[in-house]
Homo-oligomer: A and B are copies of this chain.
Amino acid sequence: MDTNCCDGASAHDNPQKRTDDLARNIIEQIADKWTILVIDALGTHGEMRFSRLRDMVEGVSQKMLTKTLRQLERDGLVTRYVHPVIPPRVDYQLTPLGRSLLDKICGIWDWVEVHMSEMEKARHEFDHGEKAARSSASA
Q: Are B106 and A111 in contact (CB under 8 A)?
A: no
Extra A-B contacts (5), CB below 8 Å, given A2-B41, A104-B107: A27-B109, A74-B122, A76-B118, A104-B104, A104-B111
Contact of A76 among B81, B101, B105, B119 (CB under 8 A): B119
Number of residues of chain A lying within 8 A (CB) of chain B = 61
The quantity of this chain's copies bound in the complex is 2
Docked complex Cα distance between A8 and B122 (Å): 25
Query: What is the predominant secondary structure among interface residues of chain A facing chain B?
Result: helix
Contact of A82 among B2, B33, B127, B134 (CB under 8 A): B134
**A74-B118 Cα distance, complex, nearest whole Å:** 11
A27 touches which of B27, B36, B41, B45 (Cβ 8 Å): B36
- Inter-subunit contact B75/A119 (CB<8 Å): yes
- A66 interface hit (Cβ, 8 Å): no
